[in-house]
A and B are shown apart, each in its own frame.
Chain A
Amino acid sequence: NAGVIQTPRHKVTGKGQEATLWCEPISGHSAVFWYRQTIVQGLEFLTYFRNQAPIDDSGMPKERFSAQMPNQSHSTLKIQSTQPQDSAVYLCASSPLGGLSAETLYFGSGTRLTVL
């Protein structure tokens, strides 16, 4: 079991460009979560899916961020017109039972996004 796989590990974009981040959850896991990690804010919840359906996107900046889960083996986080304040480590996590309370989240290694 390779764990949660995130690609790319590092991404550098210019201001105004688009960035797409990829996540492959652990096989058989029903829920996928996206978090953003910064020194100031810590781990901020962005959005999550259960059995590919969007459940809660309350943490997503509405204007430029979107997430999809087209099949059970991958999810994408897309940031349009990237801004320097979007620079962060974006972490994906999966859980086995669909995001029920008290489940362990299994995190990937993250994608470090740098917007110049």
Chain B
Amino acid sequence: GDSVTQKEGLVTLTEGLPVMLNCTYQTIYSNAFLFWYVHYLNESPRLLLKSSTDNKRTEHQGFHATLHKSSSSFHLQKSSAQLSDSALYYCALSEGYNQGKLIFGQGTKLSIKP
């Protein structure tokens, strides 16, 4: 079945360094959508960005990701980490049209240190 893999459970970085959170997926659907959701402590998870277009960079709130269907990847990046970026980040997959269910990865906790 469809699946999403986030290999890093915890990423710890110093403020100002670049961020890269890895996400790979498996699906049989050619029109799948990929998402990043962010879950800050004491808040609800919310959408950060999404894409279904191959090789197109998607940006929001300083983060960006590019869907690469050839390698089934959708890594999340940011050029310079801020303390406020500390949160739990989930990569998710929607299987295709008329399928609202999202398949989430295990999540990566990003911890930014001063």
Q: How far is the CA of A55 from the CA of B104 in the complex (A)?
A: 18
Contact code string B65-96 (vs A, CB < 8 Å = 1, else 0) = 00000000000000000000000001010111
Query: From residue A62, how far is it (CB to closest CB) to chain B in Å?
Result: 17
Size of A's binding interface in residues, CB under 8 A:
30
In this assembly, does B46 line the interface, its C-beta being within 8 Å of a C-beta of chain A? yes
| Any A CB within 8 A of the CB of B99 | yes
Knowing A42-B90, A109-B44, say if A102 contacts B104 (CB, 8 Å): no
Known: A33-B102, A110-B44. 13 other contacts (CB 8 A): A40-B106, A42-B6, A42-B107, A43-B90, A45-B101, A50-B100, A55-B100, A95-B100, A99-B101, A101-B31, A101-B95, A104-B47, A107-B46
Q: Which residues of B lie under 8 Å from residue A44 when comparing CB positions?
A: 104
Task: Known A4-B44, A107-B44, A109-B44; judge A33-B101 contact (CB<8 A).
Answer: yes
Q: Is B24 an interface residue (CB 8 A)?
A: no
Pair A35/B100 contact, Cβ less than 8 Å:
no
CA distance A110 to B99 in the complex (A): 23
Which A residues from 53 to 95 make CB contacts under 8 A with B? 55-56, 91, 95
